[in-house]
Amino acid sequence: MSIKNLLKIAMNALLRNKLRAFLTMLGIIIGVASVIAMLGIGQGSKLSIQQQIAGMGLNLVTVVPGSQQRGGVQFGASTMQSLKESDVAAILSDCPAVLAATPEVRGNGQAVFGALNWPTSLYGENESYLQIRERTVESGRMFTYQELNGAAKVCLLGKTVVKNLFGEGADPVGQVIRFKKIPFQVIGVLGSKGLNTFGQDQDDLILAPFTTVQKRVLAITWVQSIYTSAVDSKSTDAAQTQIEETVRRVHKIRASDQNDFTIRNQTELLSTFSSVSDILTVLLGAIAGISLLVGGIGIMNIMYVSVTERTREIGLRMAIGGKGFDILLQFLTESILLSITGGVIGILLGIAASKIIGSAMSWPIVVLPSSEILSFAVCTVIGIFFGWYPARKAASLDPIDALRYE
Amino acid sequence: MKKLIEIVKLKKDYFVGEVTVHALRGVDMVVNEGEFVAIMGASGSGKSTMLNIIGCLDKPTSGEYILDGIGISALSRNELSSLRNRKLGFVFQTYNLLPRTNALDNVELPLMYNSSVKSKERRERALAALESVGLSDRIHHKPNQLSGGQQQRVAIARSLVNDPVVILADEATGNLDTRTSYEIMALFQELNRKGKTIVFVTHETDIARCATRNVIFKDGVILREYEVKDRINAIEMLASIPEAD
């Protein structure tokens, strides 16, 4: 029998029972839609984490001091005072995979302007900060190299600080604020970055030249961390290795001794969080996959009912010349039609649901074409797999018995 | 005259559990082209088994069956299907029309299983078959919109559409009232007059008298067989039956 006739016969048979066909498809529709939506949510959360981690800085490689150890007692991470400003210079001159680097020192305290005050953090950085941490200056300007060298008392404010010291929408440029009683002239406002992955407000900060903060505010000789940017996303590992070698050399660490610093790069962080969201995706997908399986069993059930109910029809078709194979193909085509139609509707519904969930929860939802293709393929396989046994039952009927079936 | 059906020493046994049922115990039978044969007999006489074998739905245990020059004993299940599709037309007691499917699609059905017939030709032949049973004005009606007699006409049209060498009817009037039965018999007689060979199973003597020859089965053998002398002309018969109000 030609494919055209086969499709026509299967279509006619399905259209004879529209409601039943629809209800059977519903299982597949819901299954596929939930697979698409769940994978979309999973992929979306992965993307959102990736974006946020990437947003922490450009191909970021971070160096922090190692943990202090005295008499066998560990004093926790980053407690050593081992990093110096000279390390930054060495990294910049000796590590070809590093694009830019800045030392960082920070202190917490109360910022005061007039009658208003606000507890915040003061960050001391160099002029590469904006590039490395991917931040912008919204109004005013960044401090200059001269101001950095001269430990000038200038600062840039984050949006949250501006809001709390000057009020919403006010322009603080040119004003003088005090932090730990030291006056700073505001020369700019940083562009907003919102909350980070861990819920920290990235706009609640004051940015000042590294030298000013280290010498005038904190009065320390070490730096608390070093942020560097690798030249591109592929070279973060190379940058990490080069920095490790350089800092070990500068710190004169013997080959047998451990590092007195720790290096982290974004890729590690990214893979940690990605693996979490991958597990999430697999879990959600598996649950949705089970509903797809149930949908498939629904098709099998209905096809069995259909074969029994249409025993006489099968007998007739055999009597007038239908071969067993024709009957098999007919029922298989019906179940494949059911599952594929359900699959297509499910994919559309899943995309729509993803969009709705995405906009309702302001999450990025990523519907990958691969998950659509996968769902479609799974539907076809379900159609064949769950249609096979009922179809074979139909094909193996004896025409005489089938014709007499009451 | 050409022998369309030739049956020699045909036996058919069924095995029900440990019991062997001898449904046919050695039947010799010939149906010539253009004949209208009525097979009669009580239930259990083997007439239905005979029809199943003539219809190539069942194979004999022993003996020969030659349909239009083809011995069917050696044929596979699929070859028998093709043979039924090309050479035979079936009419059943319960019509066996596809539900919720219009008359035209029902009649087209046998040709769907014949890939050499294209859709345009299929439609034309179905329309012609429906016209020959007088249902040209009912082609888009579904079975539940047709009377029993009309449904049986659709079934007859379906049996005609593949231009079979023999039409096999199994109690084709069994579900119909007397008047409608004669209408159907009139149709069969007309088809027979146009040259169709018909084999008809019935247990109604009057209906059997519409045929040209009667074959009486009993206990798996042919009891009697004879040419019908006082043949009933179904159209004349119809005139004598008052129309139902």
pLDDT in tens, A269-284: 778 777 888 888 888 8
* Cα A382 from chain centre: 31
- DSSP one-letter code for A235: G
- Residue A306: list chain B partners with CB under 8 A: none
Q: What is the pLDDT of residue A181?
A: 87
Specify the residue for token string 């179809």: A391
In this prediction, residue A69 carries a pLDDT of: 65
pLDDT of the residue at B131: 94
Task: Say if the Cβ atoms of B98 and A326 lie within 8 Å.
Answer: no
Q: Which of residues 118-177 of B touch A (CB under 8 A)?
A: 119, 158, 162
Torsion of Cα atoms, A152 then A157 then A158 then A162, to 10°: 170
The closest of B151, B149, B160 to B198, measured between CA atoms, is B160
Inter-helix orientation angle A324-360/A311-319, to 10°:
130
Chain B interface includes A201 (CB < 8 A): no
Residue B228 has pLDDT above 70, yes or no: yes
Distance CA A207, CA A184 (A): 10
DSSP-based three-state secondary structure for B221? strand
The helix/strand/coil state of A240 is: helix
Q: How confident is the model at residue A237 (pLDDT cuts 50, 70, 90)?
A: confident
For residue A175, what are its two tokens?
């004003």
> Distance between CA atoms of A192 and A207, rounded to whole angstroms?
13
Q: What is the DSSP string of A289-342?
A: HHHHHHHHHHHHHHHHHHHHHTHHHHHHHHHTT--HHHHHHHHHHHHHHHHHHH
- Range with the lowest mean pLDDT among A31-45, B76-90, B186-200? A31-45
CA distance B230 to A395: 46
Residue-wise pLDDT tens digits, A92-137: 888 998 989 999 999 999 999 988 899 999 999 998 898 888 888 9
The string of pLDDT tens digits covering residues A49-105 is: 777 777 777 688 888 888 766 666 776 666 677 888 889 889 988 899 898 999 999
Task: Beginning with the edge strand found earlier in the chain, give each strand of the sheet holding B36-41 in spatial order.
Answer: B88-91, B166-170, B197-201, B36-41, B213-218, B221-227
d(CA B23, CA B61): 10
**Confidence class of residue B159 from pLDDT cuts 50, 70 and 90?**
very high
Kindly determine whether residue B81 and residue A317, on different chains, have CB atoms separated by under 8 Å: no
Is the model's pLDDT at A48 over the cut of 90?
no
User: Per-domain residue ranges for chain B?
Assistant: 36-46+77-240
Task: Kindly state whether B99 is in contact with chain A, defined as any CB-CB distance less than 8 angstroms.
Answer: yes
Pick from A221-225, B123-127, B222-226: least confident:
A221-225
Report whether A253 contacts A14 (CB < 8 A): no
Residues 216-235 of B with CB under 8 A from A: none
Nearest beta carbon to residue A1 from set B58, B77, B115: B115
- Of the pLDDT bands very low, low, confident and very high (cuts 50, 70, 90), residue B87 is very high
The predicted structure's pLDDT at residue B200: 93
Band of pLDDT at residue A266, cut at 50, 70 and 90: confident
Task: Give DSSP secondary structure letters for A149-187.
Answer: HTT--EEEE-HHHHHHHH-TT---TT-EEEETTEEEEEE
Kindly determine whether residue B55 and residue A403, on different chains, have CB atoms separated by under 8 Å. Answer: no
Q: What percent of chain B has pLDDT over 70?
A: 99
Task: Report, as an integer, the average pLDDT of A196-200.
Answer: 71
Distance CA(A24)–CA(A383), nearest Å, equals 12
| CB distance B94 to A303 below 8 Å | no
Name the range with the highest mean pLDDT among A84-93, A133-142, B182-191: B182-191
H helix runs in B24-134, sequence order: 47-54, 77-87, 103-112, 119-132
Instruction: Quote the pLDDT of residue B182.
Output: 93
Position B226 scores a pLDDT of 94
Average pLDDT over every residue of A347-369: 85
Alpha-carbon separation of residue A347 from A73, A77, A290, A300, A343 (angstroms): 58, 49, 16, 21, 6
The model's pTM: 0.74
Under an 8 A CB cutoff, do A316 and B84 touch? no
Q: At B200, which amino acid appears?
A: F
Q: What pLDDT, on a 0 to 100 scale, did the predictor assign at position A257?
A: 83
Residues near B163 by beta carbon (within 8 Å), at least 6 away in sequence? B125
- Partners of residue B110 in chain A, C-beta under 8 Å: 320-321
SS3 letters for B186-203?
HHHHHHHHCCCEEEEECC
pLDDT (0 to 100) of residue A76: 66
Tell me the fold of B36-46+77-240.
Rossmann fold (3.40.50)
CA dihedral A354, A357, A363, A364 (to 10 degrees): 20
Q: Residue B192 pLDDT > 90, yes or no?
A: yes
Nearest to A28 by CA among A390, A384, A382, A387: A382
Chain B residues with CB inside 8 Å of A2's CB? 115
Dihedrals phi, psi of A111, to nearest 5 degrees: -95, 140
- Could you tell me which of A176, A366, A186, A196 has the C-alpha nearest to residue A281? A366
Q: Which pLDDT band, with edges at 50, 70 and 90, does A197 fall under? A: low
CA dist., res. A42 & res. A363, Å (int): 10
CA pair distance A46, A324, nearest whole angstrom: 50
A116-125 vs A98-113, strand pairing mode: antiparallel
**How far apart (Å, rounded) are the C-alpha atoms in residues B209 and A327?**
39
Mean pLDDT along residues A183-202 = 84
What b/e readout covers B62-101, taking b as 16+ CB neighbours within 10 angstroms? ebebbbbeeebeebeeeebbbbbbbbbbbbbbbbbbbeeb
Contacts of A210 (CB under 8 A, 6+ apart): A85, A102, A103, A104, A105, A124, A125, A126, A148, A223
How far, in Å, CA of A190 to CA of A162, rounded? 10
Amino acid found at A238: A
Pairing mode, strands A98-113 and A225-230: antiparallel
Question: Which pLDDT value is given to residue A54?
Answer: 74
Domain boundaries, chain A: 3-52+272-404, 98-227
Give the closest of A2, A16, A403 to B100, CB-based.
A16
Q: Which residues contact A392 (CB under 8 A, 6 or more apart)?
A: A328
Is B113 within 8 Å of A312 when comparing Cβ atoms? no
The residue type found at B165 is V
- CA A287 – CA A188 distance, rounded (Å): 51
* Strand duo A182-190 + A154-157: pairing: parallel
Residue A195 DSSP label = B
Split at pLDDT 50, 70, 90, the class of B91 is very high
Q: Do residues A100 and A229 make contact, with C-beta atoms less than 8 angstroms apart? A: yes
- All residues of chain A having their beta carbon less than 8 Å from the beta carbon of residue B166 are none
User: Does pLDDT of B245 surpass 60?
Assistant: no
